[in-house]
């Protein structure tokens, strides 16, 4: 794009020699401005992938990333399972972006509280909201508030060191846990509950979680879904990890798989392979070695299909979870579009732990930002926030909480392309100089907010790695914002 001129009236042109944008008016006059300044709210995968694409595709844009916590990387740090270190390798790419000369990181800044979105819009040519989905979808059933009922988001946050979940202290003294939902997060939780502690000791799981799991009495985990095996939401990698998990054996209900073999031929390849693995696990007689392994297992796990929660059942004192009542369902339709409908039957399952893994949801950040509370997204077209020029969104805030990190990458690249197209076409007004972080930093200082820089984060990173090394782990995370800030500022 360097050196390219747009000569149509009313459009901008780029003058490579001066490194500035020019806006050409009908009367021929030009107004120059500094390089485009873009602000991104949120430093998870959506934020970093948006920044990465902008910086690579536009040679003069400067990107500032604002993050509520003192530490970056969002769900890569706080959501990815501790025994999936390979997934966390994207942090290396994000670090390269954060250390780019045209990128700056400002942690410990709570947008919507410390600074408003409108103030950011006045300071930057464009603002991208990429703060993810930190809310929980609720089951909406009686007993949901009993002790022993947790959201998967909070449970994952607890074992991954999210400061707001540090006090969760789940009671693991029961024998049976029921997880509602059959996506990858549900299987992550089941795997962590049932994994041998010696395996978890080699991960970056937090020390309090490791100690709690070492004393856990949970021996059986049921992973419950409203629909059938053909609609299960997890991927084959996560299911295979459950099948091969040391010290465990599968416990399936054969009747749940009636008619599934006949349906295989019509399934797309990834879904077919996943379903074949379920069928093999549920119905086939294992070989001698596998049978021996199962016979020695002290813990069990099972997928339960065609079940929907009706009520969490309380103990006689009405304080704690004692079980869950499930409605039996059947399918109307077929394939991905099949719908679960109630049959009128119910069954009760005794359990002391219920974990709801039915989805995350985004929350509104600022009254000035349009928000669809029903869909829990910011209304947008290709990442352009509707009726809000200069405002964009990427990641789960844009689409809802779906897909894996690669899905978020593509989603964020698309938003970055929309923003760049708007720069090219003149939809984004780049004629006025914007002060960017200069004015925001002054506002934050007036309000007593001291941001954490990326080099400050690297101090935290070094301390965590050092603590981990001392105990044979890749890292031992700091668990409170206060601890993080203390390390960052020393």
Annotated binding-site members: 46, 67, 75, 111, 182-185, 226-227, 238, 396, 403-405
- In angstroms, the CA 211 to CA 200 distance is 10
Q: How far is CA 378 from the centre of its chain?
A: 17
Within 8 A by CB and 6+ apart from 196, the residues are 246, 247
SS3 317: coil
Which distant-in-sequence residues (6+ apart) come within 8 Å of 46 by Cβ? 74, 130, 132, 394, 395, 396, 397, 398, 408, 411, 412
**Do the beta carbons of residue 63 and residue 54 sit within 8 Å?**
yes
The angle at the Cα of 352, spanning 347 to 354, to the nearest 5 degrees, equals 75
What are the binding residues for FAD? 46, 67, 75, 111, 396, 403-405
Looking from the CA of 52 toward its CB, the CA atoms found within 13 Å total: 23
- Distance, CA of 14 to CA of 19 (rounded, Å): 8
Going by the annotation, the residues of the binding site for NADP(+) are 182-185, 226-227, 238, 403
- Return d(Cα 80, Cα 88) in angstroms, integer: 7
Answer whether 77's CB lies under 8 Å from 93's CB.
Answer: no
Rg (CA), the chain: 25
């Amino acid at each position: 794009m360097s050196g390219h001129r747009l000569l149509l009236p009313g459009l901008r042109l780029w003058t490579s020699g001066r490194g500035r944008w020019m806006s050409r008016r009908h009367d021929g006059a030009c107004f120059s401005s500094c390089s485009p300044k873009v602000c991104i709210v949120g430093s998870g995968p959506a934020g970093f992938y948006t920044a990465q694409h902008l910086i690579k595709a536009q040679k003069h844009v400067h990107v500032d990333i604002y993050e509520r916590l003192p530490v970056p990387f969002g769900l890569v740090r706080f959501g990815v399972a501790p025994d999936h270190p390979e997934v966390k390798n994207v942090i290396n790419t994000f670090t390269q972006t954060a250390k780019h000369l045209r990128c700056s990181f400002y942690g410990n800044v709570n947008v919507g509280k410390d600074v408003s979105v409108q103030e950011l819009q006045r300071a930057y040519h464009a603002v991208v909201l990429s703060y993810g989905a930190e809310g929980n979808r609720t089951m909406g059933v009686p007993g949901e508030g009993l002790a022993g009922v947790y959201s998967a988001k909070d449970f994952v946050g607890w074992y991954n060191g999210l400061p707001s979940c540090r006090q969760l202290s789940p009671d693991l003294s029961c024998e049976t846990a029921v997880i509602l939902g059959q996506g990858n997060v549900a299987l992550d939780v089941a795997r962590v509950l049932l994994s041998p502690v010696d395996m978890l000791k080699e991960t970056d799981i937090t020390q309090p979680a490791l100690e709690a799991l070492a004393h856990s009495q949970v021996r059986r985990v049921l992973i419950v879904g409203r629909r059938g095996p053909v609609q299960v939401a997890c991927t084959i990698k996560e299911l295979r990890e459950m099948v091969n998990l040391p010290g465990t054996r599968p416990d399936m209900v054969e009747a749940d798989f009636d008619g599934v073999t006949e349906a295989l031929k019509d399934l797309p390849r990834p879904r077919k392979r996943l379903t074949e693995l379920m069928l093999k696990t549920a119905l086939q007689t294992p070989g001698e070695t596998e049978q021996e392994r199962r016979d020695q297992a002290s813990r069990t796990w099972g997928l339960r299909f065609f079940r929907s929660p009706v009520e969490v059942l309380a103990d006689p004192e009405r304080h704690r979870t004692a079980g869950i009542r499930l409605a039996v369902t059947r399918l109307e339709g077929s394939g991905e579009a099949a719908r679960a409908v109630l049959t009128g039957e119910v069954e009760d399952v005794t359990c002391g732990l219920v974990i709801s893994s039915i989805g995350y949801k985004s929350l509104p950040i600022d009254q000035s930002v349009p928000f669809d509370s029903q869909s829990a997204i910011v209304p947008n077209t290709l990442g352009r926030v509707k009726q809000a020029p200069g405002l964009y969104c990427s990641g789960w805030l844009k689409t809802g909480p779906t897909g894996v990190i690669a899905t978020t990458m593509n989603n964020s690249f698309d938003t970055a392309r929309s923003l760049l197209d708007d720069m090219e076409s003149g939809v984004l007004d780049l004629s006025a100089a914007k002060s960017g972080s200069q004015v925001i930093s002054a506002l934050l200082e007036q309000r007593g907010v001291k941001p954490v820089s990326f080099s400050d984060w690297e101090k935290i990173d070094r301390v965590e790695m050092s603590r981990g090394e001392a105990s044979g782990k890749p890292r031992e995370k700091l668990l409170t914002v206060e601890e993080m800030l203390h390390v960052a500022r020393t």
